[in-house]
Amino acid sequence: MCLVLFSYKSHPDYPLILASNRDEFFERPAAPATFWKGAPDLLAGRDLKSCGTWLGITKTGKIATVTNFRDPRAVRDDATSRGELVINFLRSQDDPTEYIRKVNQKADEYNGFNFIFGYMSDLYYFSNRGGIFQKISPGLYGLSNHLLDTPWPKVELGKTRLGNLISGNHNFSPDAIFGILADTSHPDDGLLPDTGVGLEWERILSPVFVESPFYGTQFSTVVLVDKNHNVTFIERVFNSKPDQYEERKFEFRIKGLS
């Protein structure tokens, strides 16, 4: 389960502002972001169980991220890893439309997912729940474990806070965005979705930053791409608490863009 908040082509200095939390069982191993061996232009973390990733970007300007669609009744144990969607796109030569055409041919091999992918110039959204495929227009968006912009409390809170932060503020800091991602407040039970996991789990999963003894937010990432195509990628790796983390930072300029 994850959360992605992003502003796309709606800030005068930053065409892309993206903030993401990856939530997972603590027993599932994952490696922090780095440039991959054999793919030196690809920056991403790695799920060490299935060898995919949840979020990545390349020095040529391709970006992709995936979240689960929460529907426990439809989960298949033999499904293809959703993390492959991100890696395969970032390493492919296909344009987004051709790539998703191929994915759609085998979409039922995956458990439910939401996929945001493309380039700084053109960004797209696809979900295999309903076969939704759309080009993303300029604006502010939120995505958790239902369809894009489904108004779950954490999505609405994150969008509001990110929008307030960047509205008219050209000097916002990554730390301020991480502050949004570190919010552990719980909404009232009456506002929670009913996704089939039971009320106790809905409560656990409801904050922006998820905490429990066995499951929670493992990684927070902020990606900024400015109007001169400079990328700042900052990742915080957590030890189950929002104030206990190691930070990694990468900066580069997208190749081939003037």
CATH of the domain at 211: 3.60.60.10
Give CA–CA dist 50/182, Å, rounded. Answer: 27
The answer on pLDDT for 96 being more than 90 is: yes
The pLDDT score that the predictor gives to residue 140 is 98
Give residue 203's pLDDT band: very low, low, confident or very high (50, 70, 90): very high
The total of structural domains in the chain comes to 1
Is residue 188 one of the residues assigned to a domain? yes
* pLDDT(151) > 80: yes
| pLDDT tens per residue, range 130-147 | 889 999 999 999 999 999
* pLDDT of residue 170 exceeding 80: no
**Average pLDDT value for residue range 7-19:** 96
Could you list the residue range(s) of the whole structural domain that residue 49 is in?
2-253
Q: How confident is the model at residue 216 (pLDDT cuts 50, 70, 90)?
A: very high
Alpha carbons within 13 A on the beta-carbon side of 122: 5
Residues in a beta bridge with 231: 225, 252
Q: Is residue 258 one of the residues assigned to a domain? A: no
What's the confidence (pLDDT) of residue 51?
A: 87
Average pLDDT of the segment spanning 48-52: 90
Q: Is the pLDDT of residue 257 over 80?
A: no
Rounded mean pLDDT, 167-174: 82
The reply to whether 60 falls in a domain is yes
Does the residue 175 lie in any domain?
A: yes
User: At 24, is the pLDDT very low, low, confident or very high (cuts 50, 70, 90)?
Assistant: very high
Amino acid at 107: A
- Reference 95, options 128, 121, 59, 66; nearest CA is 121
Output the average pLDDT for the chain. Answer: 95
Helix ranges, the chain (H): 83-91, 96-105, 153-166, 174-181, 199-205
**What b/e sequence results for 86-110 when a residue is b if at least 16 CB atoms lie within 10 Å of its CB, and e otherwise?**
bbebbeeeeebeebbeebeeebeeb
What angle in degrees, to the nearest 10, is found between the helix axes of 83-91 and 96-105?
140
Residue 80 inside a domain? The answer is yes
Please give the structure tokens belonging to residue 74: 């439809």
Q: In the β-sheet with 215-225, what is the strand arrangement from edge to edge?
A: 139-143, 2-8, 16-25, 215-225, 230-238, 245-253
- Mean pLDDT, range 198-225, rounded to an integer: 96
